[in-house]
């Protein structure tokens, strides 16, 4: 077993990276003075993984199966994992995103038991035709709920209009029709392919030591064969499919997502992520000229937000919120992007943005759950947490201008709007 201490003099932070004999990658962030502990156990298997190869076998699975598998793993022959957690006083949950599925808990006591439960149910699948069929009705209701959610629909309408081939355009939960195709055998195929310990990661942050984590992992995790799985994604054109899409749903004010599609040929580096974060703060934060103009004209409110959204084969920058005139918002956003390109960035504005971005990122490490989630996300995407902080600290105005030349193509956008029905 290899244990490495990963430290940052810049941040005065450290964590431990462990290659466990079972094949599992483990990260432990001891936090002195903290009363809570957060554990997250994840695999890079999300909604976009519907086509893959294991050994010589090429596999295609129904849309929504990763989310379905997440639901079913909580069940066992002994009962439901939530019932086991109830006796510990912990909060437990799970989520499926586009590129991963994670199972988690947060506790202030009974840490050992909480981690035992987490490792136990995630590594002990139990699927039968009867239990799988029973879940179809439950998830079917969840899908219908998402279909009626304006915030959910504005996002996926945009992704469908933006992406032509990539499965990021498909709802994470699938459809009522696709989940009807899911069987116990298909769930086991996905589980055995992606839930191999060599493919997974465990992160524990808070009131914990390395020895405490290893004591439980050594007891519960056995060495397993490394299953090599290769995921396949269709070739995605750079251009968006549609520039505008609209749907009517009961909303008091129109809501919008404006997406700038980029190239998703490769995962972004720590520097690209950091430079984009600084760029977006310069352009769209609450202290930016663009934000002030949008607010002064009554075009946005406190719901306005922005983010970079990327994963295997997809990459875009999103702006969203409520607006009485989303098309006018789009015009102003694009105007300020071109203004930034033409006029450049002042040293004062850059320094303010860099410091604010660094401060926001640093404050996130005070949260056990944010730290753990960031660690899992960066590991699965091939990035290192401290390298991201170093990239922010060492960024220059030229780095940000170079990044601006690579992103926010005003001719390659999709505006998705939900209006009152």
**pLDDT score for 78:** 67
Residue 23 has pLDDT above 80, yes or no: yes
- Band the pLDDT of 147: cuts 50, 70, 90: confident
Torsion angles phi and psi, residue 413, rounded to 5: -125, 160
**CB-CB contact of 384 with 232 (8 Å):** no
- pLDDT tens per residue across span 215-225: 999 999 999 88
Helices (H), 317-367: 326-343, 347-364
- Domains within the chain, CATH numbers bracketed: 2-231 (3.30.830.10), 244-420 (3.30.830.10)
- pLDDT tens per residue across span 42-71: 999 999 999 999 988 999 999 999 999 999
- Band the pLDDT of 76: cuts 50, 70, 90: confident
Torsion angles phi and psi, residue 258, rounded to 5: -110, 115
Instruction: Tell me the C-alpha to C-alpha distance, in Å, between residue 157 and each of 140, 168, 239, 307.
Output: 19, 11, 16, 17
| Unique residue bearing structure tokens 């950091």 | 274
Least confident of 54-58, 91-95, 97-101: 54-58
Reduced to 3 states (helix: H, G, I; strand: E, B; else coil), residue 18 is: strand
| Unique residue bearing structure tokens 């753990």 | 372
**pLDDT score for 358:** 97
Residue 366 has pLDDT above 80, yes or no: yes
Q: Report the chain's mean pLDDT, rounded to a whole number.
A: 95
**pLDDT score for 386:** 97
Q: Mean pLDDT throughout 310-337?
A: 97
Q: Where are the beta strands (DSSP E) in 280-410?
A: 305-311, 314-322
**How open is the CA angle 275-277-279, to the nearest 5 degrees?**
70
DSSP code, position 176: H
Q: Mean pLDDT throughout 376-393?
A: 97
Residue 421 has pLDDT above 80, yes or no: no
Q: Mean pLDDT throughout 235-257?
A: 96
Distance of CA 81 to the CA centre of its chain: 24
Catalytic residues: 70
Helices (H), 163-241: 176-179, 184-194, 210-220
- Band the pLDDT of 145: cuts 50, 70, 90: confident
Using a pLDDT cut of 90, give the percent of the chain over it. 87
Using a pLDDT cut of 70, give the percent of the chain over it. 100
Joined tokens for residue 61: 């699975």
**CB-CB contact of 282 with 345 (8 Å):** yes
CB proximity list for 376: less than 8 A, separation 6 or greater: 27, 40, 42, 100, 102, 201, 203
Mark residue 66 as left, alpha or beta (left: phi above 0; alpha: psi -120 to 50; beta: remaining): alpha
**CB-CB contact of 254 with 418 (8 Å):** yes
Tell me how far apart the alpha carbons of residues 268 and 286 are, in angstroms, rounded to a whole number.
26
- Band the pLDDT of 141: cuts 50, 70, 90: confident
**CB-CB contact of 208 with 28 (8 Å):** yes
**CB-CB contact of 255 with 320 (8 Å):** yes
**pLDDT score for 408:** 98
Antiparallel, parallel or unpaired: β 413-420 and 229-231? unpaired
**pLDDT score for 332:** 98
Q: Mean pLDDT throughout 282-303?
A: 97
Q: Mean pLDDT throughout 355-375?
A: 96
Residue 6 has pLDDT above 70, yes or no: yes
**pLDDT score for 367:** 96
More confident residue, 133 or 384: 384
Joined tokens for residue 266: 């490769």
């Amino acid at each position: 077993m290899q244990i490495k201490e990963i430290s940052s003099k810049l941040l005065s932070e450290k964590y431990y990276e462990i290659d466990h004999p079972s094949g599992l990658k483990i990260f432990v962030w001891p936090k002195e003075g903290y009363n809570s502990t957060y554990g997250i156990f994840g695999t890079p298997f999300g909604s976009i993984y519907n086509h893959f190869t294991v050994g010589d076998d090429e596999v295609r699975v129904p849309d929504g199966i990763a989310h379905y598998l997440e639901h079913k793993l909580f069940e066992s022959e002994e009962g439901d994992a939530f019932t086991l957690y109830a006796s510990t006083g912990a909060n437990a949950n799970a989520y499926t995103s586009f590129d991963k599925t994670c199972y988690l808990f947060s506790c202030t006591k009974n840490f050992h038991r909480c981690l035992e439960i987490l490792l136990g149910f995630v590594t002990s699948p139990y699927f039968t035709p009867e239990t799988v069929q029973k879940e179809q009705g439950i998830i079917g209701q969840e899908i219908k709920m998402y279909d009626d959610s304006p915030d959910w629909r504005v996002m996926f309408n945009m992704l469908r209009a933006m992406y032509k081939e990539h499965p990021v355009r498909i709802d994470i939960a699938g459809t009522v029709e696709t989940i009807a195709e899911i069987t116990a055998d298909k769930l086991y195929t996905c589980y055995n392919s992606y839930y191999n310990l060599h493919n997974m990661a465990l992160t524990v942050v808070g009131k914990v030591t390395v020895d405490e984590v290893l004591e439980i992992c050594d007891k519960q995790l056995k060495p397993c064969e490394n299953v090599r799985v290769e995921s396949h994604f269709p070739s995605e054109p750079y251009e968006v499919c549609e520039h505008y899409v609209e749907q009517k749903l009961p909303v008091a004010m129109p809501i919008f997502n404006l997406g700038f599609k980029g190239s998703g040929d490769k995962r972004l580096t720590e520097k690209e992520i950091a430079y984009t974060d600084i760029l977006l703060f310069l352009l769209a934060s609450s202290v930016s000229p663009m934000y002030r103009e949008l607010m002064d004209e009554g075009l946005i409110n406190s719901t306005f937000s922005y983010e970079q959204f990327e994963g295997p084969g997809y990459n875009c920058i999103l702006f969203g919120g409520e607006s009485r005139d989303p098309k006018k918002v789009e015009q102003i956003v694009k105007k300020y992007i071109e203004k930034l390109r033409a006029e450049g960035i002042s040293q004062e504005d850059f320094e303010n943005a860099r410091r604010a971005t660094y401060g926001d990122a640093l404050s996130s490490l005070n949260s056990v759950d944010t730290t753990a989630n960031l660690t899992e996300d960066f590991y699965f995407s091939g990035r290192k947490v401290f390298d991201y902080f170093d990239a922010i600290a060492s960024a220059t105005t030229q780095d940000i201008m170079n990044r601006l030349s690579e992103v926010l193509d005003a001719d390659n956008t999709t505006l998705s709007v939900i209006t009152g029905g």
